[in-house]
Homo-oligomer: A and B are copies of this chain.
Amino acid sequence: MQGSNPSATERDAAAVAGCRAMNLELADDRVPARGLTHCAPARCRDPAQEEVGSMTEYLNETVFTWGATPLKFGAGAVDEIGWDLAQLGARRVLIITDPDVAATGVPQRVADAAKAGGLTVEIYDRVHVEPTDRSVRDAVEAASESTWDGFIGVGGGSAIDTAKAVNLLTTYPADLDDYVNKPIGRGKAPDGPLKPLVAVPTTAGTGSETTPVCVMDFLDLQVKSGISHSHLRPNLAVIDPLLTLSMPPEVTAASGMDVLCHALESYTARPFHSFPRHTPETRVAYNGSNPISDAWTEQALHLLARSFRKAVLNGGDLEARTDMMLAATFAGMGFGNAGVHVPHACAYPIAGRVREYRPANYPQEVALVPHGESVSLTAPAAFRFTFPTDPGKHLRAADILDPRAQQATADERERLPAALTSLMRDIGVPNGLSGVGYGRSDIGALVEGTMQQQRLLAVAPRTVHDEDVEAVLTESLENW
């Protein structure tokens, strides 16, 4: 009565019907589910002329996965963390954070709240901002000096990513390289679920609290890679907008640009149904764009449109801070399943090859391009490059982000770049690669570094050649 058990033939016929249905242009462009029943374009280009009987297998992917960390969200949420950890069965808990975050006192406040819940708590505060294989190994070694039955990552992506790796490597000890994605590592899957991990983000940026990945620099190889597995996803994210109230404007701008690029890159990513069909073993954490990720992304864009400028220009605006925190989480729920592509791929060498640039309100002892800045600098050119793959989605993103961009330019391809550069000028992002110290002579090395990020470039909605990256980077020397 309530189900069916379709034969292979019925499935194939249904797939063709689905492809036919998808050829209809639907009137309501706010509805998210388009493309869900797409199958291989090569097979379905003209379903009327296809032999249904020949479609005994799908060539293309028909399945996507989606997951998100459960949330506790709101002002004061962090005060309840002791109870939440006890619910997860954790009694001896290690807080993992970096020195800058530790200096704000937030990790100590988290520790106090956890102790008030009857837990034993220690703080490890030596996470490297932009973690490296060495800093991750150091954290694992420090954590291994005692036994823990739970972890709390407090900070931005660096702290939360390091906490994921520590949880994995202390729960199922192995060499770090065993778990790192191929080809840098051996791509081993965890033997089972990890210990409880609670993420407490203190920036509205990374989205790491909802994603199943951790990223680090491999110092000897001068390359960025990481570990991706759904077991790495935190068990709970405690998101308290009060923690972001004192974040300086420069940090708010950079971390917000990371959120915005998460949203725009996952929204424009290659659709899940255009990948070759995976087996469950080979299906990756980054599925490509899909209707659930798109739904989250659009919500994130609405929030950013409303509150990004406000949060940078008036950091005490709790409403704007709350919107930004929610936007970061929503974008994480999108890109954490769909993936990111060209701007994030370019960001790795842009950050890695920095020479002298030292942004205000960041530590001044080392040169640094903040992650969000490094991602944003190529975004206008990157979305000009991806525009032809789905003009409708690019225009919709631009219209949500900045309805006035429609007036600013008659050229549809320029509408999203115009919305981005208008925002970046208002919030003080440097003007392109030249704004952080790069010149035309650096382009070759930056292209090389970008092309190493094949894991990300595979999620781009079109094939990315060296010359495409060269064009994107060259256009990005100055963005206005």
Contacts and interface: CB of A to CB of B under 8 A. Distances in A.
A306 B31 contact: yes
A155 B127 CA distance: 47
B15 A318 contact: yes
Contacts of A202: 2-4
A109 B5 contact: yes
A302 interface: yes
A53 interface: no
A70 B75 CA distance: 26
A14 interface: yes
A54 interface: no
A71 B230 CA distance: 12
A58 interface: yes
A16 to B, nearest CB: 9
A104 B3 contact: yes
Contacts of A295: 295-296, 299, 330
Nearest to A324: B33
A313 interface: no
Nearest to A105: B5
Contact of A242 (B11, B244, B291): B11
Nearest to A316: B17
A316 B1 CA distance: 15
B4 A246 contact: yes
A156 B2 contact: yes
A36 interface: yes
Interface residues of A, number: 93
A71 B2 contact: no
A36 B74 contact: yes
A306 B244 CA distance: 40
Contacts of A63: 72-77, 80
Interface stretch (A18-26, A131-139, A214-222, A376-384): A18-26
A89 B193 CA distance: 8
A465 interface: no
A292 B2 CA distance: 30
Interface in A58-81: 58, 61-68, 70-77, 80
Given A71-B67, A242-B11, A302 B28 contact: yes
Given A21-B319, A202-B2, A299-B32, A66 B73 contact: yes
A101 interface: yes
Nearest to A68: B68
Contacts of A464: none
Nearest to A69: B67
Nearest to A203: B2
22 contacts: A1-B362, A2-B101, A2-B251, A3-B106, A3-B154, A3-B155, A3-B243, A3-B244, A3-B247, A14-B75, A26-B306, A31-B302, A32-B302, A62-B76, A63-B74, A63-B76, A64-B72, A64-B74, A70-B230, A83-B279, A83-B280, A295-B299
Given A1-B248, A37-B322, A63-B72, 16 more contacts: A2-B156, A2-B202, A3-B101, A4-B242, A4-B244, A5-B106, A11-B76, A18-B318, A28-B302, A31-B303, A37-B241, A58-B76, A61-B74, A63-B73, A66-B71, A80-B279
Interface of A: 1-6, 10-11, 14-15, 17-18, 21-22, 26, 28, 30-33, 36-37, 58, 61-68, 70-77, 80, 83-84, 88-89, 100-101, 103-106, 108-109, 154-156, 192-193, 202-203, 230, 241-248, 251, 279-281, 291-292, 295-296, 299, 302-303, 305-306, 316-320, 322-323, 326, 330, 361-363
The 3 A-B pairs at the shortest CB distance, nearest first, are namely: A67-B70, A4-B246, A21-B319
